[in-house]
Structure formats: C-alpha cells, structure tokens
Chain A
Amino acid sequence: MGLKGKDLLGIRELETDEIGLILDTAESLKEVSSRDIKKVPALRGKTVVNLFFEPSTRTRTSFELAAKRLSADLLNISVATSSVVKGETLFDTAKNLEAMMADIIVVRHSSSGAPDRLARRLKSSVINAGDGSHEHPTQALTDLYTIRERKGGLSGLIVTMVGDIAHSRVARSNIYALVKMGADVRVAGPPTMIPAGIDKLGVRVYYDLDEALSGADVVMMLRLQLERQGKALFPSIREYSRLYGLNKERLRFAKKDALVMHPGPVNRGVEITSDLADGASSVIMEQVTNGIAVRMAVIYLLSAGRA
C-alpha cells in the first residue's frame, strides 16, 4: 500500500493507516543517516524542489538532506516576497516548475491554504512544509515518530501542548495527528491564544498550566511569536513566561518520565528554561534528527505513488 493522495497537505486529510505507514517507513529509512555513506539510490532521477515563500532554515535543510539521501536532484528556490510584486501569481511560479518536470514541490508559505491551492492546479506532488497558521504536517509526523520511538506507542498517552495554539500550524497538525492516533490531547495557553471552537477537534482546553501538565506523558511547548505582544494577545513576556513558561518545578506536575518537546527555534527563558531545553527530558535534538527520516519517508512514499 501507499499514500492515497498525490500530495501531503495536512494531517487532517490523512487516515490512521497512512500515518502508520509513514512512521514505519521512516523507521526503516532512519538507519541510512547513520551510515558512513548516507545515501540510497531510491529516488535517482527524480527532481524535488524546495519552494520557500517564507524564510526557514531548519525545515528547508531537513527536506534538502532528506531528498539528497534518497539521491533525488534538489533545487532550492526562495521567494523573498510574494511574487505578486512582479505581477506573477503563485500559480505562475508553480506552473513554471511543473513545466521543468519537477516531481515533488515542497512548499512553505506564510498564507494558509497556499499549498492546497497549488496542489489542485498541479500534476506534481505537493508537500506542505508549513502554511500560515494552517498545518505543518511533516513536523507533526516527526513529533509522532519521536514520541512513538520513546514511548513505544501513542494511544492513551496524555500530551499537553502549551502556547499560542491560535497561530500555530504545528499545534493544528499535532492535534489532528495525536487525536487520530488515540492520544489524550490537552491544549493550554491564555484565552487570547486559544482559537474559537478548538474543543471540536477533540482536545481539552486549560488556562492553568499546572493543571494541564498534571500526569502528562509528553509536554509540547510552542514557540512564542514575540511580536504578538503588540497585538494585545499577551501583556508582557514576563507575565507570559510566569504563567505559561515551562521550568523544572512545573514539570514535576507531569509524569516522571515525561518528554519535553519543542519544534524550534526555542526562545530560551521565555516558553522554556535553558536547563530544561538541554536537559534529560528534552528530545528537541532527536526531533531534528528524526525530521530527516520522516521527510525521507514522505518524499519516498509520494514518489512511489507516482511511479
């Protein structure tokens, strides 16, 4: 079996067995990165394009390494500002790439829905590498992989997500993914950062962090976009950190072997203290390593579907 769609746009559209397949495939591909020669010929002759409309280092690099370790040809295109400025639409840009016979287009865009709209128009496979506040499916799959590897499974785990849920694509993708895999998902943050109707996605909402952490198996901290202070979403970094920042004392409310995760980049001392980010509970660097294997799996499976 393979993936049902030609694209990976979000976790919302994925079925449970597809998520399982991606994680299993990632597991068998992870070993490639630890070899002396970190390459398999699986995708020789295929072209993968990283089309980034928003600056990104780690996601772009992760996709780049993933494609290269599968022997695909890779092209990086960064569009600093929307190409609309040049009078060219998103579709024009993508159609050009398709005309150059790109097999897979990896899209990062600040507008929610941009990869979705592209995918409807293109024959190439589209992978969403993060769109606005919508989804970041490969990050959620990476997080799932990391949790599964450490905890042996996902079903029944209590996962607490903390921070700006409203503006987080990582949160949305993780909520869909974890709920589908049977985890008990909690979200915590100030009410200004909890989006309307989020409970309908099957999560429980907490405004008190200690309560939200109680008995948690996994604590996922989200990056605070500092500029949102000016938009009346929180009064100060000091108060945010005091109410929703994770530190050693707070972590005691969670299970003893709780994992601490963060999609990066970390605002040290804001959403999480440095000692925790670098501490024994932290799997932040494992997330980075696993991200490559998961992205290899996604590229591989979409490419196999096209053959």
Chain B
Amino acid sequence: MGILIKGGYLIDGKAKRGEVYDILIEGGKITSIGKDLSPGPDCEHLIDAARKVVIPGLIDMHTHAREPGYEYKENIKSVSEAAAAGGFTTICAMPNTKPVNDNRTVTEFIRSRAREAGIVTLLPIGAITKGSQGVELAEIGELYDAGCLAISDDGRPVMNSEVMRRGMEYARGFDMLVISHCEDANLSLGGVMNEGIISTRLGLHGIPPAAEEVMVARDILLAEYTGCRLHLAHISTAGSVRIIREAKSRGIAVTAETAPHYFTLTEEAVEGYDTNAKVNPPLRTSLDMAAVREGLKDGTIDLIATDHAPHALEEKELEFDQAPFGISGLETALSLTLGLVEDGIFSLDEAILRLTINPARVLGIDKGYLAVGADADIAIIDLDDRWVVDPARFRSKGKNSPFAGWKVKGSVFMTLAGGRIVFSR
C-alpha cells in the first residue's frame, strides 16, 4: 500500500508552500510531505509529477447530479467520473432531483449511490421546503442527521419571504448553511436570456439583472436578521457584487460563489440562438463580467463553483425558449479558472484557493488543503497543456457546453480521491 507523488510543484492551500515537494500517501491519508522522499518497499505507485503542479482536490459546491429521477441527463456514477476528470474530489449535489431531496430517504439513497460509485466524495444538499414548493419547511433536522450540510431550494427560489425567514431561522439551530439561488421568479417569468440590446435584437424575453439583485438584497437582510449563515449561488451581476461587498463590509455572515461562465462569457454568446449558452442566471454584459472578476479578485465572491447542469442532447436541440437552462461545467472549470490567471486577475495560488480551501471553509468540511494527516484528495495539473474543448469526450453525460471548440490552457493530469487514483489522463 502506498503512493508516492514525486517532484511536483506543491500548492497546499494552507501554508502556501510554493516549492517542489514529494507527497507520500498511505491508507487514504497523506503521511508525509518532504523533499526527496523515497518509495518504500510496499509502494504501489510512483507518480512522476515533474513539471506539474500538485494541488488539493477541487471542491464544487454546486453540482446537479440528476439522480434520482433524471438519470437520462446524468447519474451519480457519471457525474463522479466527470468530477474526477475535472480535478474535483468533492462535489455537492443540489436537491432538485425527482423526488426532491427533502427527506432522509432521498439523502440516504444519494449517499449510498455515491458510495457504490466510490469515485469522489458527494455531499448531498437538502431542500429548504417540501418538494421545493416554497410553502412548508422540509424536515431540515432529519436532513441534517442524514448528512446534509446545507439546504437550498436551488432553481426554485423561495419566493415567500416569511418562509425563507423561517427556513433560515430553523437552519441556524443546526448551524446549517442556507444556499440561495437568487431569482425573483416574477421578474424573471418567461425570460430566457439577459435583458438588453441582444434580447431585443433576438426577440427573446429578457431577465433583468434586478431579478437576481432584489433577492440578493432580500436574503442578505434576512440573514442579518436571523443570524443564519447564508451562501449566495452563481452571482452574475455587477449590482449583486456591489450589494454583497457592502454586506461583507458590515460583517454579515454571507459568502458567495460565481461560475466560470459568468467570468468568461457575455450575453453575446447567445447570438445565433445557441441553447448551450442558455443558463440561469443568464450570461450578462461585459460590465457585469468585469464586476464578477473584480469581486473574485477582492474576495467579495469567495469561491468558484461549476453549477454543473447536464442535459440530454435532444433537450438542448429544442427551440431556444423551450430548451432547459444549464451548462455542463465540471470538465472545463479548472481550465477556465486558469484563464483568469492568464488574464492577470489573480495568481495561481489565489485561483486554487477559490476552488479548494474556500469552498471547504464555507461548507465547514476538513478538506481542501494538503498536509500530513489530511485526506489524500489531490489533483495533479499540467499548466502548459493546451487543449481544445470537445464535449463529445466529456465523462459527463451532459455535452451541453458553450465552450465547445475553445482552445484552453491547463489540464488535469491525474486525480486522487481518498488516496486512490480516480482519473488519469
């Protein structure tokens, strides 16, 4: 038993080691980090990581695993494989499955399927309300007991402010994180893309930035009032960034994420009615994109999540207004984030923190760093590798990517989860 990773440039996520170190893994844990470690007699794998970067396995706070109920889009095994291929070793499964993950039975089913797949750590997120209908609270205490660290009515935001307030209050009793998909469903009703000159040209019903921002503001105010830990999902507008920045400056316990498409694409990607660029919240303007980048840089936005939303090919082949929202994102997230390093937004270290220790801290899990005694969740990446995104080669069943054909830089060479090699290029 044992794996030795030799000669990789180490970014450990805590002590900010920026040097070449070897890592010894035994029994699923890191047992030694040092210079010139030599393989013991029972070393199974000697991994040559020379000229590569060794980082903690990535953590995705926002994944749609689709199982149970939508296995034709994705299942727990395929999403786990996609995660591993993208360098992720921990993913959080959103509850908008069929049935909704609003009770212990569904949570336990998801966890057992993840154990059977045995590839990455999958953390289920429970629903705030029964059936995510926004009316009655789900049995949040039982969801907590069953292993949900957070609750969210992702995709079906709780419109009733009283219900949201009570959900937050109730969750506080378990110190559970509440994740909010910020969307005023009345303001966004019928909308399929950002509202602006492009939606006007294309004759598509627009979603104004305010549809997101009024809910960002509401949920921050409710979090401040209830003392609940609030995490805001997939921030897409300049206004949201401004509101969150102000809230943080006042010390409110709010954290936020954005997804790679919001710092890489604008609404112009919708031209030609590309349904793969149909996502909720919608791709916004270049001003919004710049504000999201600035928010990531200064820490207003804590972390990067994928909002991996796989769909079947025939669903994305529908008319633009009929096609479902979502982008298959697990296998492009790292390269797109490295694009921000290329663009000088932040350093490589800072980029990796936003995909590892930052989400770990928000979730309150003991992962996202490399140290002796830590779980051997590790990604080995090749920064100089240039490749062309080809969704046909995704491990995910969801081939719906607006990045098809993009030339990107930086790829995953190998992923280890719990000390086992779960992906190797």
> Which residue numbers of A lie inside 8 Å of B, CB to CB?
12, 82, 84, 89-91, 109, 111-114, 116-117, 120, 131-135, 166, 169, 172, 195-198, 200-201
Contact = CB atoms under 8 A, between A and B. Distances in A.
A90 B318 CA distance: 7
Nearest to A113: B273
Interface residues of B, number: 20
Interface in B241-261: none
Contacts of B317: 89-91
A137 to B, nearest CB: 12
A202 to B, nearest CB: 12
Contacts of B273: 112-113, 116-117
A131 B318 contact: no
Going nearest first, the 5 A-B pairs with the smallest beta carbon separation are: A134-B203, A197-B197, A113-B273, A111-B319, A133-B203
Contacts of A112: 202-204, 273, 320-321
Given A114-B319, A134-B203, A197 B272 contact: no
B116 interface: no
A114 B319 CA distance: 6
B201 A133 contact: no
B28 interface: no
Given A111-B321, A111-B322, A135 B203 contact: yes
Nearest to B197: A197
A231 to B, nearest CB: 9
Given A90-B317, A91-B317, A196 B199 contact: yes
Interface in B48-98: none
B321 A196 contact: no
Nearest to A200: B197
Contact of B206 (A114, A169, A196): A196
A135 B203 CA distance: 8
A200 B202 CA distance: 14
Contacts of B196: 196-197
Interface in B174-208: 195-197, 199-206
Contacts of B203: 112-113, 131-135, 169, 172
B314 interface: yes
B200 A82 contact: no
B202 A134 contact: yes
Given A117-B320, A132-B321, A196 B204 contact: no
B319 A195 contact: no
A113 B200 contact: no
Contacts of A132: 203-204, 321
B202 A90 contact: no
Given A113-B204, A132-B204, A133-B205, 18 more contacts: A82-B319, A84-B318, A89-B318, A109-B319, A111-B322, A112-B273, A114-B319, A117-B320, A132-B203, A132-B321, A133-B204, A134-B203, A166-B200, A169-B203, A195-B200, A196-B206, A198-B200, A201-B200
A200 B320 CA distance: 24
| Majority SS at the chain B contact face | loop
A205 B108 CA distance: 58
Interface string B123-151: 00000000000000000000000000000
Nearest to A169: B203
A113 B320 contact: yes
Contacts of A135: 203
Contacts of B314: 89
Nearest to B275: A117
Contacts of A120: 272
A133 B201 CA distance: 9
Given A112-B204, A132-B204, A117 B319 contact: yes
Contacts of A91: 317
B195 A196 contact: yes
A132 B321 CA distance: 10
A32 B371 CA distance: 85
A113 B202 contact: yes
Of the listed residues A90, A113, A133, A166, the one surrounded by the most CB atoms of chain B closer than 10 A to its CB is A113
Nearest to B194: A196
A113 B272 CA distance: 8
A12 to B, nearest CB: 7
Contacts of A114: 319-320
A111 B200 contact: no
Nearest to B313: A89
Contacts of B197: 196-197, 200
Contacts of A169: 203
A90 B202 CA distance: 19
B201 to A, nearest CB: 7
A90 B195 contact: no
9 contacts: A12-B201, A90-B318, A112-B320, A114-B320, A117-B320, A134-B202, A166-B200, A196-B197, A197-B196
Nearest to B272: A116
Contacts of A133: 203-205
A236 B228 CA distance: 44
A134 B196 CA distance: 14
Contacts of A200: 197
Nearest to B190: A231
Which residue of B196, B202, B321 has the most chain A CB atoms within 10 A of its CB atom? Answer: B202
A110 to B, nearest CB: 8
Contacts of A166: 200
A239 B32 CA distance: 78
A12 B202 CA distance: 10
A120 B317 CA distance: 12
A90 B273 CA distance: 14
Contacts of A172: 200-201, 203
B320 A195 contact: no
B209 to A, nearest CB: 11
Residue among A82, A114, A135, A195 with most chain B CB within 10 A: A195
B193 to A, nearest CB: 10
Contacts of B272: 116, 120
A131 B201 CA distance: 12
